[in-house]
Amino acid sequence: MLDQIKLGELTCDVLRKDIKNVHLSVHPPTGRVTVAAPEHMKLDTIRVYVISKLGWIQAQQRKMAEQDRETPREYLERESHYLWGKRYLLSIIEAERPPEITLSHQKLLLRIRPGSSQAKREAILEEWYREQLKAELPKLIKKWESRLEVEVKKFYVRRMKTKWGSCTHHRGTIRLNTELTKKPKSCLEYLVVHEMVHLLEPTHNERFVGLMDRHLPNWRHTRNVLNDLPVRHEAWRY
């Protein structure tokens, strides 16, 4: 059951679960706040807990709000684009043939029909990024299914505005943000492991942390690297 707590401009989503303790999270990159609480806990009790943590919540949100943003992309010649953390310069080649994207040294070559709009260029690149992520995920999932002894029944890739990934525990599915294609592959692996561990433990409790520590000891460092990288230039919502 999902409730909400509103404290001035702050909105906190409350998710009731079969757990013993309250777990408060501020999620990058937008500063979205969630609380996982025991099913029997009264909403007023949860409200008091969130109020006691307001200073910490606001400090985390300020840090995320100050995070660097990418400059808006115009999809023009020699514009910077990224794949797996590496910078490429966009090179546009107009030709009467189906659109195609290839990499050549430090260039990202976009072949496109003459007169194609900025929106069309963006759409082609977005789909290309999506396909890059879809190609990488099966290898990582297979690797970690055997290590974690868990099965991912299905995965999805999509553009998300409020989170890097998510998991639907009871369905055995995970979702990853297409923006991860622009980050180092170590960041993608961290997110895959993070969401797959949620198939074993839905909350961020001590068991979850213990599983992450056991299987991916450097996960905190990688998480910090990801959260310190510039994020997409958008009107992010809290």
How many other CB atoms are found less than 10 A from the CB of residue 89? 14
Residues in the chain: 238
Does a structural domain hold residue 60?
yes
pLDDT in the model for residue 68: 57
More confident residue, 160 or 139: 139
pLDDT in the model for residue 59: 86
Are 85 and 55 contained in the same domain? Answer: no
Are 96 and 121 contained in the same domain? Answer: yes
Tell me which of 35, 65, 95 is where a domain ends.
65
Reported as a pLDDT band with limits 50, 70 and 90, residue 236 is very low
Reported as a pLDDT band with limits 50, 70 and 90, residue 70 is low
Average pLDDT of the chain, as a whole number: 89
Task: Count the domains in the chain.
Answer: 2
pLDDT in the model for residue 67: 60
Share of the chain above pLDDT 90, in %: 66
Domain containing 191: what range? 80-228
Reported as a pLDDT band with limits 50, 70 and 90, residue 29 is low
- What sign does the CA torsion over 34, 35, 36, 41 have? negative
Are 57 and 28 contained in the same domain? Answer: yes
Does a structural domain hold residue 73?
no
Q: Could you tell me the CATH number of the domain that includes residue 221?
A: 3.30.2010.10
Does a structural domain hold residue 235?
no
C-alpha 110, offset from chain centre: 26
- Residue 28 structure tokens: 């990058």
Reported as a pLDDT band with limits 50, 70 and 90, residue 177 is very high
Are 40 and 140 contained in the same domain? Answer: no
Range with the poorest average pLDDT among 75-84, 143-152, 220-229: 220-229
